[in-house]
Amino acid sequence: MTATLLTRSEADLAAARQRETKRFFGKVGIYGLLGLWAVISLFPVFWTLTTSMKVAKDVQRGAIVPFIDFQPSWLGWKSLGLSPETIGQVSTVRDEFLKRFFNSVAVSVSASLLAVLIGALAAYGLSRFTYKFLWMRNKDISFFFLSQLILPPVVLALPFLVLYRELALLDNLVGLTLLYTLTVLPIVVWIMKDQFDTIPFELDEAAAVDGLGSWGTFFRIIVPMSLPGMVAAFILALILCWNEYFFAALLTSTNATTLPVMVASQTGSQGINWWAMAALATAAIGPLVVIGIFLERYIIKGLTAGSVKG
């Protein structure tokens, strides 16, 4: 009797221990996989950043860890005119870089602002009122806006080339801004409509009772409440515009060229200067990595808008 009891509790113990080990290995497995993917995600960024501080022989050796494998230098940044000793001097490369950088900033910020403005208005209208335009009702109008998403850039690219030539908008920041506004508009409408649909309609009714018109309600009540959604839409639009290459490469040549076009034009040339390219690439992705780290919450909010319903 005691013997069987003992064996049973021993068996229990063994089973419990087995479960423990399984759990332990499960944990190790999970963290191992997480670590592996984190390396896959971050190594290219790390590699680019460190390569911008390597000299030729470090690149050829394939050195990886700074201070151990190689001694960091400012070589890459020096050729961009952005290293500590060259920052005070005149540098044509830096001027070029800064021009492209500010072109990118100007185009992506203004396109995103414009898209959020007209996109939010449209989304609010579609969320609250019923429209009828020709044969189209609300559902069709929503589809009209969202369907622009499947339009590949290449369909618009050549017509725009011809159109912009006639409008004298080629190689022009305004022309590029308008085009970028168009490409991000469906996403903004999508996010904002989702956001407005979550705000109770009673609020609008209460505002109407208080004598606010539809525009007063929108600006005084709805906009402050939907600010997180607007920020999410703005940031997502900003990322897409900042990274856009296809239109910029086709429609700009000297004046309005953006940063991605500059990066791409450098890679094409023979005998790439690795450290200089790495510095340029780092500068091009830097702002977005910072945004990704600090505004991750909004990016996720924007990405998941409308796709997950309870």
Residues of span 261-290 touching other proteins by CB under 8 A: 261, 263-264, 267, 272, 274, 277-278, 281, 284-285, 288-289
Smallest gap, in angstroms, from Cβ of residue 282 to other proteins? 9
Contact flag: residue 129 with other proteins (CB under 8 A):
yes
Q: From the list 195, 204, 260, 279, which residue makes contact with other proteins (rule: CB under 8 A)? A: 260
Main-chain dihedrals φ then ψ at residue 202, nearest 5 degrees: -60, -30
134 in helix, strand or coil? Answer: coil
Size of the site for other proteins (CB under 8 A): 97
Residues in region 142-171 near other proteins by CB under 8 A: 144-145, 148-163, 166-168
Question: Which CB, 256 or 285, lies closer to other proteins?
Answer: 285
Q: Which of residues 179-238 bind other proteins (CB under 8 A)?
A: 179, 181-182, 185, 189, 213-215, 218
Which of 218, 212, 49 is CA-nearest to residue 126? Answer: 218
- The single residue among 82, 122, 251, 279 that binds other proteins, judged by CB under 8 A, is 122
**CA pair distance 264, 252, nearest whole angstrom:** 13
Site for other proteins in 60-79 (CB under 8 A): 60-62, 64
Residue 54 has φ and ψ, to the nearest 5°, of -100, 155
Site membership for other proteins, residue 134 (CB under 8 A): no
Nearer to other proteins (CB atom), residue 15 or residue 158: 158
C-beta of 268: minimal distance to other proteins in Å? 8
Rounded to a whole number, what is the largest CA-CA distance in the chain?
99
* Cβ proximity of 168 and 256 under 8 Å: no
| CA 221/CA 205 separation, integer angstroms | 11
Write out the binding residues for other proteins, residues 2-31 only, by CB under 8 A.
Answer: 30-31
Q: Name which of residues 30 to 59 contact other proteins (CB under 8 A).
A: 30-31, 33-34, 37-38, 40-45, 47-48, 51, 59
Cα of 34 vs its chain's centroid, Å:
22
Which distant-in-sequence residues (6+ apart) come within 8 Å of 125 by Cβ?
A: 131
CB 238 within 8 A of CB 108: yes
